Amino acid sequence: MQRTLILGATGFIGGNLVRTLVARGEYPRILVRPGSSLSFLEDILERIEIVYGDFQDPESLRDVTKDIDVIFHLISTTSPSSPMGSSLDDAVSNLFPTIRLVESAMANGVKKIVYTSSGGTVYGEPQITPIPEEHPLLPKSVYGQSKLTIENFLNFYARSTTLDVNILRISNPFGAGQNPLKAQGIIAVAMNCAYSNQVLKLYGNGEAVRDYLYIDDVTEALILVAQKPGSSIVNISSGIGYSVREIVQAVEEVSGRIIQKEFIPARSSDVSVSILSNRLAFEIYGWSPKIGLYEGLARLDYMRKTKRCITLERRTPAKIHHIAVTCGNL
């Protein structure tokens, strides 16, 4: 059995990956900053090796990568909405630590790094749809450029060393554990607005098209890629596009609730269409999505109606602020 390390285990994809690995009988190691909430993993903490440290601390990276075969690098300190002036901070908090991570990994004999990139931002405006991996890479956002720069460094190490590097350009994941108060994840935000009677703010005219992928399909892809030797770059996507308006309508249909909407100016960093081809992932790994949009929404709605949810907390010295409610796994 592979010894795995997950960076970003308290995030949406990372938390679900931890749960999936534990369900498979594995005992993954995670790097967690002191004070981070582990509420999403509360029922399985005894089956996880928890190491407290900081992704930006070289000593933490040297220690946490010891005796590890595969690293899942899921950390990102920025989002698609990060402003143009955030490039330097992005490099300091994402690029430089990733380089140190690779150097620590190689020094400790790690065999493989699996990195979650962004299929929705690294390509820019599509010249062909669905977008294949060989499409020109012309990001419109700092976030997309950061992801691409990290990809380039990782590819350099894959070419120049014995380290395997797998880059997964993931479309728009949704599902259990996604924080509806973060700056990304329209489905989580819309579902939360449906049940809290809050106004849903939509950029532009709501006609931007994306493909959406249920989180269980994402974790399956991560595990399949980690098990196969060799390096690769693949899209992980549904391959089916929905406009934002169609997504909101689908949430309303599944939840049986009407969402109040407010349209606000579009962002210049957003692409108009992003639908990714998943052909290569099937050819290399035999992976294809199994859970469609409406089935995924029905699962989320069921979890809310049966109150299988977890309250995330932001702690301060004085008090606890409840900031989000996210649905736990069935």
CATH number at residue 153: 3.40.50.720
Per-residue pLDDT averaged across 125-145, rounded? 96
Q: Under a CB-based contact definition with an 8 Å cutoff, are residues 43 and 63 in contact? A: no
Per-residue pLDDT averaged across 295-314, rounded? 70
pTM over 0.85: yes
Q: Which pLDDT does position 88 carry in this prediction?
A: 87
Per-residue pLDDT averaged across 170-182, rounded? 91
* Residue 1 scores a pLDDT above 80: no
Burial 12-31 (b: 16+ CB within 10 A, else e): bbbbbbbbbbbeeebebbbb
Q: How far apart are CA 82 and CA 297, in angstroms?
A: 28
Q: Under a CB-based contact definition with an 8 Å cutoff, are residues 238 and 218 in contact? A: no
Q: Which pLDDT does position 303 carry in this prediction?
A: 81
Q: Under a CB-based contact definition with an 8 Å cutoff, are residues 109 and 70 in contact? A: no
Per-residue pLDDT averaged across 166-180, rounded? 95
| 241, β-bridge pairs | 211
* Residue 320 scores a pLDDT above 60: no
Q: How many domains does the chain have?
A: 1
The length of the chain in residues reads 330
For the chain, percent of residues with pLDDT exceeding 70: 91
pLDDT tens column, 210-230 = 999 999 999 999 999 999 999
Q: How far apart are CA 306 and CA 293, in angstroms?
A: 20
* Residue 327 scores a pLDDT above 80: no
Domain span including residue 147: 4-327
pLDDT bin (cut points 50, 70, 90) of residue 238 is very high
The 3-state secondary structure of the chain, one letter per residue: CCCEEEECCCCHHHHHHHHHHHHCCCCCEEEECCCCCCHHHHHHHHHCEEEECCCCCHHHHHHHCCCCCEEEECCCCCCCCCCHHHHHHHHHHHHHHHHHHHHHHHHCCCCEEEEEEECCCCCCCCCCCCECCCCCCCCCCHHHHHHHHHHHHHHHHHHHCCCEEEEEEECEEECCCCCCCCCCCHHHHHHHHHHHCCCEEEECCCCCEEEEEEHHHHHHHHHHHHHCCCCEEEEECCCCEEEHHHHHHHHHHHHCCCCCEEEECCCCCCCCEECECCHHHHHHHCCCCCCCHHHHHHHHHHHHHCCCEEEEEEECCCCEEEEEEEECCC
* Residue 84 scores a pLDDT above 90: no
pLDDT bin (cut points 50, 70, 90) of residue 140 is very high
* Residue 91 scores a pLDDT above 70: yes
More confident residue, 330 or 15: 15
More confident residue, 307 or 268: 268
Q: Which pLDDT does position 75 carry in this prediction?
A: 95
More confident residue, 180 or 17: 17
Q: Which pLDDT does position 85 carry in this prediction?
A: 67
Per-residue pLDDT averaged across 261-284, rounded? 95
pLDDT tens column, 29-83 = 999 999 999 999 999 999 999 999 999 999 999 999 999 999 999 999 887 776 6
CA atoms within 13 A on the CB side of 70: 23
Per-residue pLDDT averaged across 192-218, rounded? 95
Q: Which pLDDT does position 302 carry in this prediction?
A: 84
Q: Which pLDDT does position 183 carry in this prediction?
A: 62
* Residue 162 scores a pLDDT above 70: yes
